[in-house]
Structure 1
Amino acid sequence: MDASRIRAGRRGAVAVVLVCAAALAGGCLAVPPARKGGPTARAALPLAANDLQDQYQRVIKQVLPSVVQLQAGQSLGSGVVYDDRGHIVTNAHVVGSEKTFRVTTARSEEPLPASLVYSYPEQDLAVIKLDKVPEGLRPAVFGGSDQVAAGQIVLAMGSPLGLSSSVTQGIVSGTGRTVSEPADEGSPGATIANMVQTSAAINPGNSGGALVNLDGQVIGIPTLGATDPGMQGAAAAGIGFAIPASMVRTVAGQIIGTGKVTDSGRAALGITVRTVVDDGYRPAGVAAVTVRAGGPAARAGLKAGDVITRLGDTPVGSTTELAEALAEKRPGEPVTVTYQRSGGTRTARVTLGEQ
């Protein structure tokens, strides 16, 4: 799925209200008779709403102090306090090419200086570190993949449009999404697997913040919203994506421990590529521009100039489609690559390497 870094708004509230109103008008809401002297069913409805509201407020009070506003050059984004040593995790596209930052925490009246530890654009994650750890810095609690399921209520916390400490709410709309980000400043956008889809509003500035469940656990890092190709790239309301917390912990843990990502878990062929088009200027495959000596593709016999048209059972017409197909694979996994050479079609069995 192609998506843009425009943050989506959300729709659907009107539809829900209309459905509920229709149910009430049609008499389909079962209301048990009230017991004499006891609370009525009508009184129970506001109580349930108040309970949910109280839970929202408890989670916000618990987690929001761990979500910071991050200024990188002229850009604003969000970050999440990872540990009590001053490490903050955010998106790679938030830090960009900057090395130093200004961070505003829940307790700081003035921005605090911070420096880049490492940026990993392939997974759109980065870690920065406060130059001096302020008193009372509160790390967030990161959940795992078993804490994420469609239908869960979630809150997105960050600094959309520069409005620090903002909260929106929605649900987990889906899991396991593979999303390709748009190209940025001449570089191809990252293709990220296993993303969490949410209806919580994700707007510019939310990137790098926290997607939180009602147990107060960060289950993802909001990263981008979808766009509607039929509306000239306008934001597709209610469709946003977050990098899952399990991947955040894997990448951030390696960066903090070694200063870089040593085990990405991302499959690779060991080639650089470009999209080729047919006579009608339609994408027709992916040409290998360079093939790394001793890499997976080279060991399987592929050469520069070969045009890949299929990875396993998945047709490949562009570099984005190849990246999305590889995102579904794991290093060490064998796969059949179909390619064109000298006008003929060939296949090669490639054991995938790591990016």
Structure 2
Amino acid sequence: MVESQDPAPRRPAHHPPRQPPRRPARGPRRRLPAVLAAGVCVLVLASGCTGIPSSSPAGSAAADRQPRNSTRAVPPKAVNELQSDYETVIKNVLPSVVQIEAGNSLGSGIVYDSKGHVVTNAHVVGEGSSFLVTVATGEEPLTAKLVSAYPEQDLAVIRLDRVPAGLEAAAFGDSSKVAVGQIVLAMGSPLGLSSSVTQGIVSGIGRTVSESTTGGGTGATIGNMVQTSAAINPGNSGGALVNLDSEVIGIPTLAATDPDLGDSAAPGIGFAIPVSMVKTVADQIIQKGKVTDSGRAALDITARTVLDDNYQPSGAAIVDVTENGAADKAGLRPGDIIVKVGSSEITTITTLAEALASKRPGQQVVVAYVRDGEERTARVTLGEI
């Protein structure tokens, strides 16, 4: 289940890692390349069939009218420059994007530094502690071990047991410079096709979305995510969302699902964890072995969703309050039903998590709650997860 604050929400759902392709019992692995090559041939033939066939009378007449010294139209300079930009970005960044095999699942990752650290999604590594990583240097898959995972933000860091010569760390950008309309490329291993690239734009920023807990998802509610139209498919998780300056600006993690389409992926709506959070989490894991400063706000309570007389979600009831925590200091207690945080209406524990995802520890918010049938308010200084 996924909830959104937009007027007509779609339900973001994490992409479970793909099953790695089965290796045939005998013979070389030629089947997939052969299929792809056949697909290219079909496209070439189809493009050659457009217009009037040259063998027809009309086609011959059209050919006769063409000057013998005619040449094909040259694409505009801007098109050539954009294509050159794409090629440069791919050349610069793709060598830093790896494929991660975790048991029976498959995902992507980004080389974080020269010491062999690779950052990826927590749902890619799952419960595993050792992995096979295919890097761009073209050698056999390398072994790697888990450093630490942080499911609350769906991030993890693994480390290669051996750092191969020529391994390149990616360049990471600045989240404050990400703007709607920027052209971006998504790089990873969608559907098991390693070193794949899709393109689109940044179509939204500051999104708060929640993962599903099914299919290996962490159930995390993540704030300030980058929305993109670049295709994000199973296996893209943990890869790179890159700008035209060859900088990673996010980690593709979720794609929206449309309940009207049977919960299938909604085309052109994907989400990436912003690079600011990626660096915050990865740096702490590498330096300290775990996340000690999440930067995520909390009320320091345990809560559950409550229903009204019509069996509709109507708030988040406090089950337990952490002693000397944010809620306790503000006078909230078990049995209170939270119905609003700031300007955000609260109907479920998911909407409560989404409301807090955009806040910072130490920030003051007004919390509206119901006690003994009477609505009250309290000013709460938020704690930290």
TM-score by length of 1: 0.86
Aligned to 1:136: 166
Alpha-carbon displacement from aligned partner over 1:224-277 (angstroms, at most 9, x marks no partner): 111112222121100101111111111111111111112111100001111111
Residues 1:307 and 1:146: Cα distance change in structure 2 (over 3 Å): closer
Residues 6 and 226, structure 1, Cα contact 8 Å, conserved in 2: no
Q: State the shift of 1:343 in Å.
A: 2.5
CA distance in 1, matches of 2:252, 2:164: 25
1:71 to 101, 104, 107: 101
Ranges in structure 1 where 5+ consecutive residues have no aligned partner? 8-41
List per-residue Cα deviations over 1:24-50 (Å, max 9, x = no partner). xxxxxxxxxxxxxxxxxx966443322
Q: CA deviation at 1:309?
A: 0.9
Correspondences of 1:1-355 after superposition (within 5 Å)? 1=4, 2-6=11-15, 45-184=75-214, 189-355=219-385
| Aligned-partner Cα distance in 2 for 1:3–1:290 | 29
Structure 2 Cα separation of the partners of residues 56 and 166 of structure 1: 13
Structure 2 distance, partners of 1:116, 1:232, is 35
CA contact (8 A) 1:6 1:235 kept: no
Tell me how far 1:340 sits from its aligned partner.
Answer: 1.9
Q: How many angstroms does 1:345 deviate by?
A: 2.1
Unpaired runs of at least 5, structure 2: 5-10, 17-71
More off after superposition, 226-235 vs 189-198? 226-235
| Partner-residue secondary structure (3-state), 1:3 | strand
Q: Is the 8 A contact 1:113 1:131 kept in 2?
A: yes
> 1:51 offset after TM fit, Å?
2.2
CA shift for structure 1 position 186 = 9.2
| Counterpart contact for 1:68–1:158, Cα < 8 Å | yes
Change (3 A) 1:50 1:286: same
Cα distance in 1 for residues equivalent to 2:274 and 2:102: 23
Amino acid at match of 1:209: G
Letter in 2 for 1:303: R
Conservation of the 8 A alpha-carbon contact between 2:110 and 2:170: yes
Q: CA deviation at 1:322?
A: 0.3
Separation of aligned partners in 2, 1:262 and 1:108: 37
Aligned partners of 1:185, 1:344: CA distance in 2, in Å? 41
RMSD (Å) for aligned C-alpha atoms: 1.7
Question: Secondary structure of the residue that 1:4 maps to in structure 2?
Answer: strand
Please report how far the alpha carbon of residue 53 of structure 1 lies from its aligned counterpart in structure 2 after TM superposition.
1.5
Task: Name which one, 1 or 2, has greater alpha-carbon Rg.
Answer: 2
Identity of aligned residues (%): 67
Task: Give me the whole-angstrom Cα distance separating, in 1, the residues matched to 2:15 and 2:88.
Answer: 30
1-side partners of 2:306 and 2:74: how far apart?
63
| 1:201 to partner: Cα distance | 0.3
Q: What do the CA deviations read for 1:307-331 (whole angstroms, capped 9, x no partner)?
A: 1111122210001110111012111
Q: Cα–Cα, structure 1 residues 325 and 206, in superposed 2: closer, same or farther, change >3 Å?
A: same
Structure 2 distance, partners of 1:305, 1:108, is 59
Which residue identity is paired with 2:132?
R
